[in-house]
Structure 1
Amino acid sequence: MVYKPHNLQPGRKHPTVLFVYGGPQVQLVNNTFKGIKYLRLNTLASLGYAVVVIDGRGSCQRGLKFEGALKNKMGQVEIEDQVEGLQYVSERFNFVDLSRVAIHGWSYGGFLSLMGIIQRPNVFKVAIAGAPVTVWMAYDTGYTERYMDTPDNNQQGYEEGSVALHVDKLPSEPNRLLILHGFLDENVHFFHTNFLVSQIIRAGKPYQLQASLPQ
């Protein structure tokens, strides 16, 4: 799904935002009217950005094999699908500028935003991670163990999929990582960002944080 920049001009390339969720049991791209659900994506388009949304392996409505690709390895396969899809979109829409791509999402999408800039910093110049899950052992066990089994049975999967354990791979350049999180988030607790930031500081990596309380 592509939101064209509102100021689109022939031959001009536009900075691009890849909006991502990528988690199991969720489908973002379908043939239905979105209403105001993704109003912020249209807002980005009004500001001159191309916005791309891709459902890769792990998303639903494509069969068990497609969705089951995440079994025991969340965070290990999704980014490659997002990058491949982004490249495909850029071949069809020449206004997509692959040299200026930001990755952005919330919750699981925030987790993948961090994974994106860790795994493919050459593709994603900026990551904007909203309420990211950063340590799977600290998230809802009913959700996590459904897809990742228990930590005892899948230690490697938990370690490889926990972004807070891989902060050494974050870019060393400033202004490439923005973390957003609400203090009273009842789903992804603020602990995740708190622990992530503590690890980032220890690793000496630059970051920006915007934390908020509900009004």
Structure 2
Amino acid sequence: MFDDEKKFRPHLGREIVSTRVGTSLSAVPSLDRHGKTRRMQIASGFFSSNRGKTRPPLRRVHRGPPVPDRGRGGVQGTLAGVPDQDSRCPDGAHAVLRANARRGRRQAAILAEACPQPRRERRPPRLETESAELERRVGLVAMVATRLTTHLAATLAAFLSLAHPSSSAIGGSAAVHAAAHQAAATAPALTSQVPLARAHVEPAGDRLDFAQAQRQQADTDRAWRTASDGFMRMEKITYRSGADDLDVPAFVFQPLETGAKRGPALVWVHENIRGHLYEHYIPYIREATARGYVVIAPEYRGSIGYGRQLYEAIDYGGAEVDDVAAAANALSERYPTVDPARIGIIGWSHGGLITLLSIFRNPTTFSASVAIVPVTNLFHRLARKGVERQRRLMDPYNRFGGPPSERPEVYRYRSPLFHVDRLQIPLLVHVAENDEDVNIDEAMQLVDALRARKPALAEIKVYSSPPGGHTFDRRVRPRAWQPENTPDQRDSWERVWKFLDSKLQAPYN
């Protein structure tokens, strides 16, 4: 028995029994005065269990919190060699113990997940709680009230003037208009009025709020118009899909100055199955128009922000490809400055999949193509992503008609990897080894196939752990809408522009 153990007897009620655990002594249990098991906790320090060596004294023992017992039937955990992570708290200085009387003796066992718990705050009286809730609601109402612009106040004043024409508080219609103009100049900006500041609506199946999504899409349109001022000309158009009679919305960006001769164009394919043209593309489309490209960015079927019909028309790897291919025809037919023989296509992630399928299925529509971190093999992707991604991808809206085991021909048709032999135009592919979305194993299947079967047409770059992984080449600085400008990002875009300029002969020096 240790010399310091005697001082703890009054606290424990029984004689302290020391127990060794593997190569470490970490437990000092006891029974309380009623003969029941008591859980205790050593606040700091562990004991050496080597026989005959000096053991450091106990410092403090106190009652530990009740926790699930993972030490039933004996002592678990070793503190030498490979420590048992369940034998101590994260701070490395606490161990929770219990007395094991199952075998008729008091033996220590380490309990997992029993670190010191923070003390619970006293629950306020009901009256205090109700007062706080009332104060919170009043504050919420005040916050909402401050967000209302005086445009609404002017409108209310107009109604009051109709109801009480003689009211001196209104002062006639002239005063109403004056108040409205003053309100427009002094009112705080709403979220929709702040350029490039908005939250994207995340789709949630049938629970998507289409009205909210359309409002936010209107914010996106305003952000793009603001970002275009002084850099390029922007407009929104719709065109007919090549698959059916669906009207597909699209952004079109043109250089500020265009010559009499026809020039090159790009079909810009955004990422995500349920997405749209995000604002992080702003600096890159600015660069494209500065280089002389006309850019069309189709909001292909499944995109959010354009109502239920477009959203529910989603067709993963199917008709959405026809939507994108038809964008090239829209450019040729509506914009005299676009040369139909000099149209390229570029896409990221799911947009990269659409890019690849577009050039494989429409070999004469485009003259050059760029696919960045593209989805390539749906069999591999579903096997790696797991059940949840499989469930989402096999949603009836996606038109697969069943799992890969039942419809392998459908998944094969929509996987670019299996159509590499159809490549007839120059293709640039960039992938990242640290991509957590399109895994490098999936990406390398396409890379290897292109290198083996289309080495003359395919230009490939594999980046080793670029910052951002899957999004490394399209990351922007927060609120600045400028490229993040990492070495890998700069290298990627320099290669992209060099490739496109050489294939499409863009008038840029």
Relative distance call for 1:204 and 1:40 in structure 2 (3 A) is closer
Task: Compute the displacement of 1:22 (Å).
Answer: 6.4
Residue 67 of structure 1 aligns with which residue? 311
Aligned counterpart, 2:439: 189
CA distance in 1, matches of 2:353, 2:334: 28
After TM superposition, the structure 1 = structure 2 runs for residues 33-44 of structure 1, keeping only pairs within 5 Å, are 34=279, 37-44=281-288
Distance 1:189 1:208 in 2: 20
Query: What 5-or-longer segments of structure 2 have no aligned partner?
Result: 1-250, 395-401, 468-509
Aligned to 1:143: 389
| In 1: Cα distance, 2:308 partner to 2:405 partner | 25
SS in structure 1 at match of 2:344: strand
2:341 & 2:281 partners in 1: Cα distance? Answer: 28
1:21 maps to what in 2?
A: 270
How much does 1:76 deviate? Answer: 2.1
SS in 2 for 1:115: helix
Match among 302, 325, 342 for residue 58 of structure 1: 302
Aligned counterparts of 2:446 and 2:374: Cα–Cα separation in 1: 9
**Is the Cα contact below 8 Å between 2:372 and 2:429 reproduced in 1?**
yes
**Residue 211 (structure 1) aligned with residue 462 (structure 2):** yes
1 CA distance for matches of 2:406 and 2:305? 28
Distance 2:297 2:460 in 1: 24
Q: CA deviation at 1:47?
A: 0.9
8 A contact 1:5–1:14 mirrored in 2: no
Match of 2:354 in 1: 112
Counterpart CA distance in 1 for 2:362 and 2:390 is: 24
Is the 1:25–1:60 contact (alpha carbons within 8 Å) kept by the matching residues of 2? yes
Deviates more, 1:112-121 or 1:52-61: 52-61
The CA distance in 2 between the partners of 1:166 and 1:95, in whole Å, is 33
Matched, 1:122 2:375: no
- In structure 2, do the counterparts of structure 1 residues 152 and 64 end up closer, same or farther at CA, with 3 Å as the change threshold? farther
Work out whether residues 274 and 304 of structure 2, in 8 Å CA contact, stay in contact via their aligned partners in 1. yes
Counterpart of 1:76 in structure 2 is 318
TM, length-normalised to structure 1: 0.84
C-alpha spacing 1:200/1:22, structure 2 compared with 1 (3 Å): same
In structure 1, distance between residues paired with 2:344 and 2:296: 10
Match of 1:199 in 2: 449
For 2:444 and 2:463, locate their aligned partners in 1 and report how far apart those are by CA, in whole Å.
Answer: 13
Q: Which runs of 5+ in 1 are unaligned?
A: none
Match of 1:167 among 399, 420, 438: 420
Aligned equivalents of 2:284, 2:442: Cα separation in 1 = 24
Identity %: 26
| Superposed CA offset, 1:108-150 (max 9, x none) | 1111111111111201111100001100122234335413352
Cα distance in structure 2, aligned partners of 1:155 and 1:26 = 26
Distance across 2 between alignment mates of 1:64 and 1:159: 29
**Alignment deviations for residues 13-71 of structure 1 (CA, whole Å, 9 cap, x no partner):** 11111110365311228xxxx4x542111101111111110112222234445334345
Q: Which runs of 4+ in 1 moved over 6 A?
A: none
**Counterpart-to-counterpart distance in 2, 1:155 and 1:70:** 20
Q: Secondary structure at the match of 2:255?
A: coil
State the AA in 2 paired with 1:79: V
Contact 2:271 2:352 in 1 (8 A): no
Number of equivalent positions: 204
- Alignment root-mean-square deviation, CA: 2.2
Q: Is the 8 A contact 2:267 2:327 kept in 1?
A: no
Structure (1 or 2) with the larger CA radius of gyration: 2
Moved more, 41-50 or 87-96: 87-96
Matched, 1:98 2:340: yes
**1:21 and 1:112 in contact (8 A); partners too:** no
In the alignment, structure 1 residue 156 sits paired with structure 2 residue 409? yes
Q: CA deviation at 1:212?
A: 1.3
**Which structure would you say has the larger RCO, counting Cα contacts within 8 Å and 6 or more residues apart?**
1
Once the 2 structures are TM-superposed, how far is the Cα of residue 87 of structure 1 from its aligned partner?
1.9
Q: Deviations over 1:86-117 (max 9, x none)?
A: 32233332112221111101101111111111
| 2:351 partner SS | helix
Distance 1:201 1:39, change over 3 A: same
Partner of 1:131: 373
Counterpart Cα distance in 1 of 2:263 and 2:421: 31
Write out per-residue CA displacement over residues 150-206 of structure 1, whole angstroms, 9 at most, x where no aligned residue: 2123322211111111111111x6xx0110111111111122221012222443453
Deviation at 1:209, TM superposition (A): 0.5
The change in CA–CA distance for 1:153 and 1:66 in structure 2 (over 3 A counts) is farther
Q: TM-score, normalised by structure 2?
A: 0.38
- Residue in structure 2 matching 1:45, options 289, 308, 317: 289
